[in-house]
Amino acid sequence: MSAIVSNTNNAIGNGASLKVDRIRVGYGKTVALHGISLEVGAGEIVALIGANGAGKSTTLRAISGLLKCAEGQVTWGGQSITNWAVDRIVAAGIAHCPEERHVWPNMSVQENLALGAYLCRSKAEIERRIGIAFHRFPRLKERSRQLAGTLSGGEQQMLAIARALMSEPRLLMLDEPSLGLSPKMADEVFDVVREINRHGVTVLLVEQNVHNALSVASRAYVVETGRVAASRDAASLLGDPALLNAYLGGEALA
């Protein structure tokens, strides 16, 4: 696996931590987040777990600027990034890999990757980052000219992660990276997440498979109907099936 790129672009982000402070976020008149607070320290892997519709994806969307916060603050490296434009948040070192991957199906693997570096003006720099992505994901290199829509689900997930890394983030937010994947493929994805983290990228992970999430993360927040219901270290949560069942019901340790 590659040595991760050094991050030269970001004004903030090196060694930065994320702080979400009582954000209230809605869709039209429907309030989805009723004052969520959480912190992700530099170098950590933190998981957000919770039942369907609890507000996990909405939290990631608010951090990445896709949704506006009606109240509360998002702070990154000590600076408020609340309601900044998406591009500015990407430039500050935060990348969001959304649920269901959304690779561009009619573009090649290489073109998808290049678009992940859309804020970068230098062709040579984009090429350099693609080289790093191919070193890290050899299976994508073998398929560099293949249309993304013809990749397997696992390969598309790898491409989505590789594309998010093309902005050279210090914080990578992953929404349900194992969704729809075989257990073996999901294991590969989580190995990649660990490897990315080992090379200095902080990770905030939303994951429906609680066992996987708590195996890869050091800490977790349990989200319930737009609020943080519990915050614990991952090992202690894993060892507390009663608590997990209380918040997640039958889907807890599926």
Q: In the chain, how many H helices and how many E strands?
A: 10, 10
> Which of 195, 109, 113, 187 is CA-nearest to residue 154?
187
27 is a contact residue toward ligand ATP (CB under 6 A): yes
CA distance 105 to 103: 6
Kindly tell me which of 126 and 223 has the beta carbon lying closer to ligand ATP: 223
Q: Are strands 94-97 and 171-175 parallel, antiparallel or unpaired?
A: parallel
Kindly tell me which of 50 and 93 has the beta carbon lying closer to ligand ATP: 50
> Which x/- pattern, by CB under 6 A, does the window 74-113 give for ligand ATP?
----------------------------------------
55 is a contact residue toward ligand ATP (CB under 6 A): yes
> Which of 75, 73, 155 is CA-nearest to residue 113?
155
204 is a contact residue toward ligand ATP (CB under 6 A): no
CA-CA-CA-CA dihedral for 39, 45, 51, 55, to nearest 10: 40
In the list 2, 11, 15, 53, the residue contacting ligand ATP (rule: CB under 6 A) is: 53
In the list 16, 20, 57, 214, the residue contacting ligand ATP (rule: CB under 6 A) is: 57
29 is a contact residue toward ligand ATP (CB under 6 A): no
Residue ranges of E strands in 42-103? 45-49, 71-76, 79-80, 94-97
In the list 13, 50, 93, 169, the residue contacting ligand ATP (rule: CB under 6 A) is: 50
- Report phi then psi at 212, rounded to 5: -60, -45
30 is a contact residue toward ligand ATP (CB under 6 A): yes
118 is a contact residue toward ligand ATP (CB under 6 A): no
# residues contacting ligand ATP (CB under 6 A): 12
Binding site for ligand ATP (CB under 6 A): 27, 30, 32, 50, 52-58, 208
